[in-house]
Amino acid sequence: MIASFFITVALAIASPADIIPAPVSFREMPGSCASDAPVKYRLGKKMEKGAYKIVIDRRRITVDAADSLGAFYAAQTLRQLRMHSDKLACCVIEDAPRFAYRGYMLDLVSTWHDADYIKRQIDAMALCKMNVLHLHLSDTHAWRLESEKFPLLHQTTSWRYGASGEDWKVNRLFAPVAAPGAVGGFYTKEQMRDIICYAAERHIEIIPEIDFPGHVFAALSAYPELRCESYVEEQGDPNQPPYLVELCIGNPRTFDFVYGILDEVAELFPSDYLHIGGDEAKMTAWKTCGKCQALMHREGMKDVSELQQYFTRKVTEYLVGKGKRPVGWDEYAQAALPEEAVVMKWHTKCELPAGNDVIMATHNYTYLCYYQDAPMFERPAWSRYLPLDAVYGWDPAQESGAPSRILGIESCQWTSHLPDDAYLDYMTWPRLAAIAERAWSPESTRDYNNFKERLRKFYPVLDSLGINYFDIDKEVGHRPESLSGVNHLALNCPVQSTSAISASYSQGGLPALTDGICGDWNGDDHRWIGFSEAMDVTVDLGEVKPLRYVGASFLCHKGYSRDLPKEVRVSFSSDGISWSEEIVRVCEISLWGVQCAYPELGINTDCEARYVRYRASRREGPVKWPLLVDELIVL
């Protein structure tokens, strides 16, 4: 057995058909070439940016490219082929990138990962011909970059109690650097220069992100004088982020701070682009802060959202003046932007300016912090289900509302649940390889089954780089109930209800409760129906029938704040007038006890009835999201 395995490996010939990302085109020829055959690079060819041609014959390898960039990508192709085998198939490969921007965002704030970790990702990204690593360096949970002008940032908020963002948010306590029991770290400028250089050698640009004017809880802990006068730390639902606070826009010192930090960052990072965040400003304190209100009055602003636009315009102009291309999350596009500014689209639906370049990072296709497999069998993650086939299946250019000026695509890894390197890798790979292929390869090469085949050769490549990954061959996959229809006595029977249906989860309306179609792991897959308050529905079976069971499945996701009912009550009637006593089933689990669950809350019975009434009451507490139910099953 072992001997035959080695013979198979030794005889395997590396083929361009096996690499990731798939090349634009290749033609195999008879014969093979030793992987250490001499390689001749011929630069100066008239070819598009990043393009290359490789000819492998029996004795030598020839690479044509315009310059060192194309030569580098040819070298990555050869590197991957050599990792597959010591014999390369004779072939001609012609290749070029689809998008100029092929990015990955790594959130280094929510959990700490050291410089060696970042370099390992750079190695794998280079092999996949990605060319941008966007480092998210400041946010609610920490500030990770050394600052000479504002040293309290890294000195007082880069270490904290709670390795993951999720653990930290329970008490939100920062700690002095290296304090006993604390975890964390920051990147010194020296370390960051080294990372930038390491990436540049691999043709990867490091783009820093300093997130303003929201996501500044850590910065405001270090410099509380930049808070609004009306700032109060909100308490409440620990599942919601009440600590989404903003810089005081009405305080001139805020601009000294922001410009000071941007001067340091712009000097440290040679990248053309500099990301200034701009997402999810809650703007609550701005409404009652004397300084912010005075600024609004002076500038004739009517709404606090204009304060963000004012901030965005000033900071954008400042960066453009320094020769940078500012990038912001799509909320940023609410301000009038100069042509140099770039918008990063993360919302599914948003207005995008026609005159600016856009990077597509639409969350429901690119956020690798979402579950890649059946949520209940995975470690906690962000609350959506985003399997490899959905990432691979995404075509940013065909996405609804796709802008005309797509610079490229980016995948984002938010790490609040991912404190250890191995798990962060597992949540990143191989989905990032799928993004890399979507970013590099033309649509004509897209073939998911073929991609899965190629992954089997890519795993040893990741092993050799010391990178962990999810093995797609072990995938559990979609919710089994969602894959085939359910047959039951209430199928297509009319349902009446007095309860309000949530506008966001009304797809299909009440008939969806008895259409025999169950939801998948995501609550917004048009199969779950949401009840804003209690659920109280009655189904008419058409005639009196013997009944054994009544139940319904609910969706519970902690990260998504979707809870289960407190209890369900079922009663029966033959005429719709007189009803049996209610049978009560208490729901023992809630989102406070589990990360996610899809329990079917049912009762057994032995009766005859035409009408079945099913009620579900809400749990008391701060969570005000709808109850999500997919199918009312009667047997």
- In the list 94, 229, 279, 317, the residue contacting ligand ACM (rule: CB under 6 A) is 279
346 is a site residue for ligand ACM (CB under 6 A): yes
Contact 601, 565 (CB under 8 A): yes
Residue 89 touches which member of ligand ACM, Zn ion, none, C-beta under 5-8 Å by kind: none
Residue numbers 207-236 binding Zn ion by CB under 5 A: 228
Query: Quick one: 220 or 550, whose CB is closer to Zn ion?
Result: 220
311 is a site residue for ligand ACM (CB under 6 A): no
Instruction: Please state the closest distance from residue 359 (CB atom) to Zn ion, in A.
Output: 31
Which of 385, 396, 380 lies closest to 344 in space, CA to CA? 396
Residue 358: count other Cβ atoms within 10 Å of its Cβ: 24
Q: Is the dihedral of CA 78, 80, 81, 83 positive or negative?
A: positive
Query: Quick one: 186 or 329, whose CB is closer to ligand ACM?
Result: 329
Residue 103: count other Cβ atoms within 10 Å of its Cβ: 29
Residue numbers 554-593 binding ligand ACM by CB under 6 A: none
Contact 344, 410 (CB under 8 A): yes
Which residues, in sequence order, are bridge partners of residue 104? Answer: 133, 411
Instruction: Please state the closest distance from residue 346 (CB atom) to ligand ACM, in A.
Output: 4
248 is a site residue for Zn ion (CB under 5 A): yes
Instruction: Please state the closest distance from residue 412 (CB atom) to ligand ACM, in A.
Output: 7
DSSP secondary structure code for residue 415 in this structure: -
Backbone angles phi, psi at 534, to 5 degrees: -70, 160
Which residues, in sequence order, are bridge partners of residue 26? Answer: 93
Which of 27, 50, 66, 132 lies closest to 98 in space, CA to CA? 50
Residue 71: count other Cβ atoms within 10 Å of its Cβ: 18
Residue 329 touches which member of Zn ion, ligand ACM, none, C-beta under 5-8 Å by kind: ligand ACM
280 is a site residue for ligand ACM (CB under 6 A): yes
329 is a site residue for ligand ACM (CB under 6 A): yes
Residue 279 touches which member of Zn ion, ligand ACM, none, C-beta under 5-8 Å by kind: ligand ACM
Residue 203 touches which member of Zn ion, ligand ACM, none, C-beta under 5-8 Å by kind: none
Question: Tokens in use for 19?
Answer: 């690499």
Query: Quick one: 280 or 536, whose CB is closer to ligand ACM?
Result: 280
Query: What 3-state class would DSSP assign to 114?
Result: coil
291 is a site residue for Zn ion (CB under 5 A): yes
- In the list 118, 175, 210, 289, the residue contacting Zn ion (rule: CB under 5 A) is 289
- CA dist 411 and 549 (Å) reads 45
Question: Tokens in use for 206?
Answer: 């490091």
Task: Give how far the C-alpha of residue 155 lies from the chain's centroid of Cα atoms, to the nearest Å.
Answer: 29
Q: Compute the residue count for the chain.
A: 635
DSSP-derived secondary structure for 577-606:
SS-PPPEEEE----TTT-SEE--EEEEEEE
- Alpha-carbon distances, residue 602 vs 388, 513, 553, 571, 613 (angstroms): 33, 15, 8, 12, 12
Residue 418 touches which member of Zn ion, ligand ACM, none, C-beta under 5-8 Å by kind: none
Residue 346 touches which member of Zn ion, ligand ACM, none, C-beta under 5-8 Å by kind: ligand ACM
- The CA-based angle 503-397-357, given to 5 degrees, is 95
Query: Quick one: 327 or 596, whose CB is closer to ligand ACM?
Result: 327
Residue 280 touches which member of Zn ion, ligand ACM, none, C-beta under 5-8 Å by kind: ligand ACM
Instruction: Please state the closest distance from residue 125 (CB atom) to ligand ACM, in A.
Output: 20
Query: Quick one: 329 or 598, whose CB is closer to ligand ACM?
Result: 329
Q: What mask of x and - would describe binding to ligand ACM in positions 3 to 32, judged by CB under 6 A?
A: ------------------------------
- In the list 93, 127, 145, 292, the residue contacting Zn ion (rule: CB under 5 A) is 292
- CA dist 32 and 89 (Å) reads 4
Query: Quick one: 289 or 335, whose CB is closer to ligand ACM?
Result: 335
Instruction: Please state the closest distance from residue 280 (CB atom) to ligand ACM, in A.
Output: 5
Residue 420 touches which member of Zn ion, ligand ACM, none, C-beta under 5-8 Å by kind: none
The residue to which tokens 């500038």 are assigned: 299
Query: Quick one: 86 or 279, whose CB is closer to ligand ACM?
Result: 279
283 is a site residue for Zn ion (CB under 5 A): no
Query: Quick one: 229 or 279, whose CB is closer to ligand ACM?
Result: 279
**Minimal CB distance residue for ligand ACM:** 279
Contact 430, 388 (CB under 8 A): yes
Instruction: Please state the closest distance from residue 230 (CB atom) to Zn ion, in A.
Output: 7
- CA dist 374 and 385 (Å) reads 7
Q: Nearest 10 degrees: CA dihedral of 373, 379, 382, 385?
A: 10
Peptide bond into 494 cis (omega under 30): no
Which residues, in sequence order, are bridge partners of residue 539? Answer: 495, 612
Query: Quick one: 234 or 279, whose CB is closer to ligand ACM?
Result: 279
Which of 241, 214, 229 lies closest to 285 in space, CA to CA? 229
458 is a site residue for ligand ACM (CB under 6 A): no
Query: Quick one: 106 or 126, whose CB is closer to ligand ACM?
Result: 106
Query: Quick one: 329 or 528, whose CB is closer to ligand ACM?
Result: 329
Query: Quick one: 234 or 280, whose CB is closer to ligand ACM?
Result: 280
Contact footprint for Zn ion (CB under 5 A): 228, 248, 250, 289, 291-292
Contact footprint for ligand ACM (CB under 6 A): 279-280, 329, 346
